[in-house]
Structure 1
Amino acid sequence: MKKKVILYKSIPENEVNRLHEHFELTVFNELNDANREEFNAALTQAHGIIGSGVVMSDELLNTAPHLEAVSTISVGIDQFGFDYLSQRKIALMHTPGVLNETVADTVILLALGTARRAVEVSNMVREGRWDRNLPAEYFGVDLHHKKMGIVGMGRIGYAVAKRAHMGFGMSICYHNRSANFEAERDFAAERLELNELLSTCDFVVVLVPLSAATEKMFGKEQFELMKSSAIFVNAARGKVVDENALIEALKNKTIRAAGLDVFEVEPLPASSPLNQLDNAFLLPHIGSATTETRYSMVQCAVDNIIAALNGDYSANCANRAQIEG
């Protein structure tokens, strides 16, 4: 008898068919008030779920006594309770690896777009205000031969360091729980304590996962440690930053500018003061948003749920140590 799986996100038809081949599949292209009751009923019988973009609380998943695996179409796992799933020996599958290069490209876009004030000067052209040589007050700053500090030197951090060092001749330092010997070998990256990194780097890039330890990791104290000429880039999670403190730092020119792909509340409210700041370069959480990468993430997530419900946790299982221990 096939195991029962719930798909709660719209994905390409051929990947839906793959799920049908392996499981008794219930499909919700999205979750909303109209189908929430039906979803909750299906959850009581489900062995697995696959999707993204919805917080699955411990309380909700507690109504799923047969649940063996969850597969999120993302590298981030903060929409699930890691400890809860681990305690129940439910595999938490995610998609690291397939989005490293695309997210790293986005980080460089944020750094370069912020440094060169791309949105400001583009708007000048679009609005017909470009009527003479660019005034000095719109000049940007260079990336090349500056110092980049990466907070969170994992796979994506390594890919960012590669682009910054090899492409722009930037010197690299990083802050991480453990040493990244490959980055040190390949890019002469220097591991620093966080405060030293903040006080010495021209660009500070945040790539840490969201957890209790990293929530609001960057606040008033951290921005005050940074150079007044520094550019702050966040491509991790919005809640890693105290957004009000960042807004004040940008208003007061405590730091030069910020390039942001993530926010405390998404979509970013139109009323957010960030929308009024010329020194904030804002993107709508496009880190992995290319056709190729998003398709690869879906493929990986489907592979993951198939493997997990066959008892194979050897790849992409965030809590493998906990459920096998």
Structure 2
Amino acid sequence: MMQRTDIKGPEEPAAGTGRRILLTRQMPEPVMQRIRDEMQAWINPEDRQLSPAELQVAVAEHRPNALMVMATDQIDAGFIAAMPSSVRAIATLSVGHEHIDIEAVRAHGLALLHTPDIHSNAVSEMAILLMLCAARRAQEGERMIYEDRWPGWSPTQLLGRDLTGARLGIIGMGRIGRIIAHRARAGFDMRIHYHNRSRLPHDLEQGATYHGTAEDLLAVSDFLILSAPSSPQTRGFLNARTIAHLPEGAVVVNVARGDLIDDDALIAALRSGRIAAAGLDVFNGEPNIHPAYRTLPNVFLQPHQGSSSMETRVRMGHVLLDSVEAFWRGERLNRLI
């Protein structure tokens, strides 16, 4: 059973000041210490995902003025309608906001705060890791070592793909996509191609080739990285039809959102060899991912760890707290609505 934990600063704000927060998950200690020092808060004492019903009970009981939620918290219209009137802001520890009903936020006159651009470097590092590990068959090699099945070196063992000089296609050339492009170009001399809602200014392209349609981009993508936000236009983007446009034996990486991929289509392509390998950090239905992924030797999987470095997570926490405090002062900082 969830226990109540009230964490207050040295001086509790006077009633009616409207500066109480509810935090749905534990954060790294530097962020927690700041909350203890500066705020009146209820913090989920169990480091697990609260169900919508549990979160609703906590909000109703503690009547915060701001919610500090995670990308895994589903804040739908029903949840928002049932919140006490004390709640004036929702702050999400994420760049994306597809887990929050935007129209309901607007309709109830709430503020929506987020953490833009803070995790771009960490996520781009994860994209390079996934690309390397998928291309060089890291999961198969790791299993061979840890399961004590390595027979010794041979010239045809676990032959993978070179990144160096290959064509990299990027879907979504925002800040993360541009950092990925820079690192792939500088580190591996990859030739960068991209598709975006609109073409970037010349100085931001840095020599990358723009493709006006996704199909044109896919046709030249030896490696494909998905870094676009989840939206009605991008959900299910990688499916049987679009996979058919990729070169035979392409490598697919996803650091965006799981719903950009049709799992059944990608799994079929991986089984047939139409797609040589995939590196995935995000999934449909997290944490209950498609079970077939665990059976495939040519997939390198990570449990949504793109922004999981200590430095990045602490920065995200502080930026979100800065945004909440700015909201309380009547200022706009990292505010979407």
TM-score, with length taken from structure 1 = 0.89
| 1:279 counterpart residue number | 298
Which deviations, in whole Å up to 9, do the C-alpha atoms of 1:110-165 show, x marking residues without a partner?
Answer: 00111111121122223333223235252011001111011010011011001001
Deviation for aligned residue 1:35: 5.0
SS of residue matched to 1:49: strand
Deviation for aligned residue 1:203: 0.6
Q: Does residue 216 of the first structure (1) align with residue 251 of the second (2)?
A: no
| 2:64 counterpart residue number | 46
Q: In structure 1, how many angstroms separate the alpha carbons of the residues matched to 2:184 and 2:105?
A: 37
Change (3 A) 1:280 1:177: same
| 2:124 counterpart residue number | 104
Out of 41, 46, 51, the residue aligned to residue 25 of structure 1 is 41
Q: Root-mean-square deviation (CA), in Å?
A: 2.2
Q: In structure 1, how many angstroms separate the alpha carbons of the residues matched to 2:300 and 2:24?
A: 32
Out of 169, 175, 181, the residue aligned to residue 161 of structure 1 is 181
| 1:80 counterpart residue number | 100
Q: In structure 2, how many angstroms separate the alpha carbons of the residues matched to 1:236 and 1:140?
A: 24
- 4+ residue stretches of structure 1 with deviation over 6 A? none
Q: Does residue 143 of the first structure (1) align with residue 158 of the second (2)?
A: no
| 1:2 counterpart residue number | 17
Are the equivalent residues in 2 in contact too, given 1:93–1:318 (CA < 8 A)? yes
Are the equivalent residues in 1 in contact too, given 2:28–2:313 (CA < 8 A)? no
Q: How does 1:63-212 map to 2 (within 5 A)?
A: 63-64=82-83, 65-136=85-156, 138-181=158-201, 184-186=204-206, 188-192=207-211, 193-212=213-232
TM-score, with length taken from structure 2 = 0.86
SS of residue matched to 1:136: coil
Are the equivalent residues in 1 in contact too, given 2:24–2:50 (CA < 8 A)? no
Residue range with higher mean Cα deviation, 9-18 or 132-141: 9-18
Q: In structure 1, how many angstroms separate the alpha carbons of the residues matched to 2:205 and 2:22?
A: 44
Q: In structure 1, how many angstroms separate the alpha carbons of the residues matched to 2:30 and 2:278?
A: 40
Deviation for aligned residue 1:253: 1.6
Are the equivalent residues in 2 in contact too, given 1:7–1:29 (CA < 8 A)? no
Structure 1: where are the runs of 5+ without partners? Answer: 320-325
Deviation for aligned residue 1:75: 1.8
| 1:322 counterpart residue number | none
Q: Does residue 57 of the first structure (1) align with residue 72 of the second (2)?
A: no
Structure 2: where are the runs of 5+ without partners? Answer: 1-15
Deviation for aligned residue 1:284: 1.1
Which deviations, in whole Å up to 9, do the C-alpha atoms of 1:245-264 show, x marking residues without a partner?
Answer: 11111112222111111111
Change (3 A) 1:183 1:147: farther
Out of 291, 316, 322, the residue aligned to residue 334 of structure 2 is 316
Change (3 A) 1:152 1:2: same
SS of residue matched to 1:107: helix
Deviation for aligned residue 1:173: 1.0
Deviation for aligned residue 1:14: 5.0
Are the equivalent residues in 1 in contact too, given 2:114–2:320 (CA < 8 A)? yes
Deviation for aligned residue 1:23: 4.9
The residue type equivalent to 2:335 in the other structure is C
Deviation for aligned residue 1:21: 6.0
Q: How does 1:186-265 map to 2 (within 5 A)?
A: 186=206, 188-192=207-211, 193-265=213-285
Change (3 A) 1:182 1:47: farther
Are the equivalent residues in 1 in contact too, given 2:30–2:314 (CA < 8 A)? no
The residue type equivalent to 1:46 in the other structure is P
Deviation for aligned residue 1:299: 1.0
| 1:323 counterpart residue number | none
Deviation for aligned residue 1:183: 6.2
Which deviations, in whole Å up to 9, do the C-alpha atoms of 1:249-295 show, x marking residues without a partner?
Answer: 111222211111111122245x7111111111111111011111111
SS of residue matched to 2:275: coil
Number of residues paired by the alignment? 315
Which deviations, in whole Å up to 9, do the C-alpha atoms of 1:145-198 show, x marking residues without a partner?
Answer: 111011010011011001001111111111111222266542x01111200111
| 2:27 counterpart residue number | 11
The residue type equivalent to 1:107 in the other structure is A
Change (3 A) 1:112 1:12: closer
